[in-house]
Amino acid sequence: MAEPTQDSWTPQDSAELYQVQGWGEPYFSVSDKGRVQVHPNPAIKAGIDLHDLVEDLEARGLRLPLLIRFPDIVHDRVRLINQCFGRAIEDYGYGGRYQGVYPVKVNQQRHLVEEVVEHGKAWNFGLEAGSKPELLIALAA
């Protein structure tokens, strides 16, 4: 990519520079304004402009830094991994079954563990705890 000038920089240049397609698709993209937007539900085309969201939250009196959670992304990932394994089992005639588990050591935050447990019920999705503190978190969820 040639060294861009401020006048020639485009939103596509930002998307390419930050490789949004590689790490964020389908949940994150760069808008026509050149801003990052989130798509908590990939089935819905419209995104949430994170810049506008932060400005709105600041106007409500919240101060930076903020942790903004999108539980719909967690729901979609749990659904997707279970559907993908289910499809592969069917396509290849595998005689066993898939038992998904979330390793608590990846992220021990209560809100996330509870989202995984709640949304994973449809697939009997479990939790994996490798230490006593992780076991206490799993039991509390």
Task: Please report how many Cα atoms fall inside a 13 Å half-sphere around the Cα of residue 56, on the Cβ side.
Answer: 7
Q: Give the pLDDT score at 42.
A: 87
Put simply, whether the predicted model's pTM sits higher than 0.85 gets the answer no
pLDDT in tens, 18-75: 899 899 999 999 999 899 999 999 888 889 999 999 999 999 999 999 999 999 999 9
> What's the mean pLDDT in 83-106?
96
> What's the mean pLDDT in 77-103?
96
**110-113 long-range contacts, CB within 8 A, separation 24+:** 110/137, 110/140, 110/141, 111/69, 111/71, 112/69, 112/74, 113/137, 113/138, 113/141
Q: Which of 71, 134, 130, 128 is nearest to 108 (CA)?
A: 134
